[in-house]
Amino acid sequence: MGNGGSFWLPPASSTVAGEVDSIFYFVYYASVVLFILVIGLTAFFVFRYRRRGGTRQFTSGFSHSNVMEVTWTVIPTILVFVIFFWGFNGFLKMHVAPKDALQIKVTGQKWFWSFDYPSGASSVNEIVAPVNKPVELLMSSKDVIHSFYVPDFRVKMDVLPNRYTKAWFEATETGEYNLFCTEYCGTKHSEMIGKVKILSELDYQKWLEAADFDTTIALHEMGERLYKSKACVTCHSIDGTPMNGPSFKGIWGKTEHFADGSSLTIDENYIRESILNPNAKVVAGFQPIMPTYQGILKDRHIDAIIAYLKTLK
């Protein structure tokens, strides 16, 4: 990240960031000047006209001046006009994506992000995009409101349920950037953070091919990767400690008891159902908070996860 950022602002790594920063600094310096004026005068008056000797004095009756009132109405007015137009201009640029933008679908969900690429590939909590190419995000949420925020790109947009919102960026440098959820969304709002990985065009194409499904490794290893990359790990441990969800340790073949009193022996169909329709059977002692992975995990992915779960003795 060549551009190291400054005391006030993080590195500016997208095409719109520079403009945002220049308005920021314009307002900043205008404020500093006005602030020094106001506080400087205050300090001077306090010192110059302080009460000496403790007795009250008659003071000047100087109590109005239209010239002064007009001055300090007009100058700030001009100033705010400039700030308004400048800020609005930048805002429009942020809102209108270039025509040729690459479109990535963003889904926010408690408490992770998933991304779908035009090729059919998908990823979780890590959005991968090429450098120097406009990327448009088509976003929606599956539950409450979230917000997609990449400080280094100066991009932020709320992600709403039952509605699409859009944002776009064009990264100017390859590298990894932080992605935050900035709309409060509950227990793990502060852990709903991910990465933006900006690759060269070539690396991006390679990544896309690999992302879809890696056939060079064993099925259960693929399952393990998915366990980590699709955020199962945030709720399910593999060492026997229950977290938000039951632990996967020794899950295969055990008899599971459900909140409605029924029970069954865990098999492939049950796991498939748990992933696609998690609330159909809710394990006793847990809240029905697991999100559905319908549309995120393909059949091959589920096969891989099942293979992996079988290995967890």
Partner 1 sequence: MSTATATFPQKHYLNDPPGLKSWLFTLDHKRIGLMYFFAIMFFFTIGGILAMLIRLELLTPQGDFFQSGDTYNQMFTLHGAIMIFLFIIPSIPAALGNFVLPLMLGAKDVAFPRLNLASFYIYVVGSIFCIYSIVTGAVDTGWTFYTPYSTSTTTSVVSMTSGVFVLGFSSILTGLNFIVTVHKLRAPGLTWFKLPLFVWGLYATAIIQILATPVLAITLLLLILERTLGIGIFDPALGGDPVLYQHFFWFYSHPAVYIMILPGMGIISETVSVFSHKKIFGYKFIAFSSLGIAFVSFLVWGHHMFTSGQSELAAMIFSFLTFFVGIPSGIKVFNWVTTMYKGNISLEAPMLYTLSFLFLFCIGGFTGIFLGALSVDVHLHDTYFVVAHFHYVMMGGTVMAFLAGVHYWWPKIWGRMYSEFWAAIAAFLIFVGFNMTFFTQFVLGSQGMPRRYYTYLDQYQPLHGFSSIGSWVLGLGFLIMAFYLVGSLFKGKIAGNNPWGALSWEWSTTSPPPHHNFETVPEMTHGFYDYDTVLVNEHGEKVYKEEPVSV
Q: For ligand HEC, how many residues bind (rule: CB under 6 A)?
A: 27
- Piece of the chain touching ligand HEA by CB under 6 A; list 73-81, 99-107, 242-250, 278-286: 73-81
* 111, two tokens: 């408490």
Q: For ligand HEA, how many residues bind (rule: CB under 6 A)?
A: 5
Q: Is 46 in the site for partner 1 (CB under 8 A)?
A: yes
For residue 202, the partner it binds in partner 1, ligand HEA, ligand CUA, none, with Cβ less than 5 to 8 A by kind, is none
Q: For ligand CUA, how many residues bind (rule: CB under 6 A)?
A: 9
Q: What mask of x and - would describe binding to partner 1 in positions 71 to 100, judged by CB under 8 A?
A: -xx--xx--xx-xx-xxxxxxxxxx-----
Q: Is 232 in the site for ligand HEC (CB under 6 A)?
A: yes
For residue 252, the partner it binds in ligand HEA, partner 1, ligand HEC, none, with Cβ less than 5 to 8 A by kind, is none
Q: Is 64 in the site for partner 1 (CB under 8 A)?
A: yes
Q: What mask of x and - would describe binding to partner 1 in positions 173 to 192, judged by CB under 8 A?
A: -----x-xxxxxxxxxxxx-
Which contacts qualify for 86-94: CB closer than 8 Å, 24 or more apart? 86/23, 86/26, 87/23, 89/19, 90/16, 90/19, 90/20, 90/23, 93/16, 93/19, 94/16, 94/154, 94/155, 94/167, 94/168
Q: Which of residues 101-160 bind ligand CUA (CB under 6 A)?
A: 108, 111, 146
Tell me the Cα Rg of the chain.
28
Q: What mask of x and - would describe binding to ligand HEA in positions 17 to 36, judged by CB under 6 A?
A: -----------------x--
| Rounded distance between C-alpha atoms, residue 257 and residue 263, angstroms | 4
Residue 280 CA, distance from chain mean position: 30
Residue 110 near residue 143, CB atoms below 8 Å: yes
Q: What mask of x and - would describe binding to ligand HEC in positions 256 to 275, judged by CB under 6 A?
A: x---------x----x--xx
Q: Is 76 in the site for ligand HEA (CB under 6 A)?
A: yes
As a whole number of Å, the end-to-end CA separation of the chain is 44
* 271, two tokens: 């796991």
Q: Comparing C-alpha atoms, which of 275, 289, 107, 280 is closest to residue 188?
A: 289
Residue 156 host element (H or E): strand 155-159
Least CB distance from residue 270 to partner 1, whole Å? 27
Q: Is 11 in the site for ligand HEC (CB under 6 A)?
A: no
Q: Is 186 in the site for ligand HEA (CB under 6 A)?
A: no
Question: Cis ω on the peptide bond leading into residue 252 (within 30° of 0)?
Answer: no
Least CB distance from residue 290 to ligand HEC, whole Å? 3
Reduce the DSSP state of residue 173 to 3 states and report it. coil
Residue 12 near residue 177, CB atoms below 8 Å: no
Q: Which residues contact 142 (CB under 8 A, 6 or more apart)?
A: 107, 108, 109, 161, 291, 292
Residue 23 near residue 87, CB atoms below 8 Å: yes
Q: Is 192 in the site for ligand CUA (CB under 6 A)?
A: yes
Q: Which of residues 77-116 bind ligand HEA (CB under 6 A)?
A: 79-80
**Between 35 and 213, whose beta carbon lies closer to ligand HEA?**
35
Q: What is the dihedral of CA 33, 38, 39, 43, to 10 degrees?
A: 130
Interface with ligand HEA (CB under 6 A): 34, 38, 76, 79-80
Interface with ligand HEC (CB under 6 A): 230-232, 234-236, 244-246, 251, 256, 266, 271, 274-275, 278-279, 282-283, 286-291, 293, 305
